[in-house]
């Protein structure tokens, strides 16, 4: 088991490895700040219970057969290959089938999976499949557009390039007009 003491020591070793002095004034508290950032923010998705986040309502969707879309949801993650930030936005839609979810829960579901070491492809699928499973809607669509700092700040160093991933399920996959409506709405 990794203890807090071991984790603090690991951050100190990393600082030494890159040529820093972990005992200088500006870095003395850095190991503790790094652990706090990972446990309370960047890695908090590992501790989250999706079933406690998602509350489904069986009332409120009477006679509603249209799309529900929340777009431009900020996404902050870290790539599992370099632990470099991934920064972007998600567009999440579903077509209810007698059940609805609080709109903020769409963002919370995205955040739970984003706050883990990730690849964008997996993140996109996890969000879509979780919503499909928990809501049992007619369909779910997720599009994520993000910049990967592992690509823009190192390696090929192509700042501003975006990666786009999508996962379409149910009516978004089977019905071209529903898919087109979703794509038009996220572009507007």
The residues assigned a catalytic role are: 79-82, 120, 148, 150
Torsion (CA) 174, 180, 182, 187 in degrees, nearest 10: 150
Say if CB 119 and CB 82 are below 8 A apart: no
The values of phi and psi at residue 142, to 5°, are: -135, 130
Share of the chain residues as helix, strand and coil, in percent rounded to the nearest 5: 45, 25, 30
Provide the terminal-to-terminal Cα distance of the chain, rounded to the nearest Å. Answer: 49
Say if CB 152 and CB 37 are below 8 A apart: no
User: In sequence order, what are the beta bridge partners of 124?
Assistant: none
How far apart, in whole angstroms, are the C-alpha atoms of residue 111 and residue 133?
A: 17
């Amino acid at each position: 088991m990794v203890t807090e003491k071991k984790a603090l020591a690991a951050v100190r070793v990393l600082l030494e490895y890159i040529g820093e002095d972990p005992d200088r004034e500006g870095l003395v508290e850095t190991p503790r700040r790094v652990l706090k950032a990972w446990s309370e923010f960047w890695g908090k998705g590992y501790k989250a219970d999706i079933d406690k986040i998602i509350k489904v309502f069986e009332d409120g969707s009477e006679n509603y057969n249209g799309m529900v879309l929340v777009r431009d949801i900020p996404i902050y993650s870290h790539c599992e290959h370099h632990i470099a930030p991934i920064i972007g936005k998600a567009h999440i839609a579903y077509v209810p089938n007698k059940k609805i979810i609080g709109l903020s829960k769409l963002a919370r579901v995205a955040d739970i999976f984003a706050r883990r070491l990730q690849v964008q492809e997996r993140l996109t699928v996890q969000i879509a499949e979780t919503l499909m499973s928990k809501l049992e809607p007619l369909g779910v669509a997720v599009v994520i557009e993000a910049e990967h700092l592992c690509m823009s700040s190192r390696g090929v160093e192509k700042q501003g390039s975006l990666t786009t991933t999508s996962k379409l399920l149910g009516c978004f996959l089977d019905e071209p007009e529903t898919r087109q409506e979703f794509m038009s709405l996220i572009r507007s």
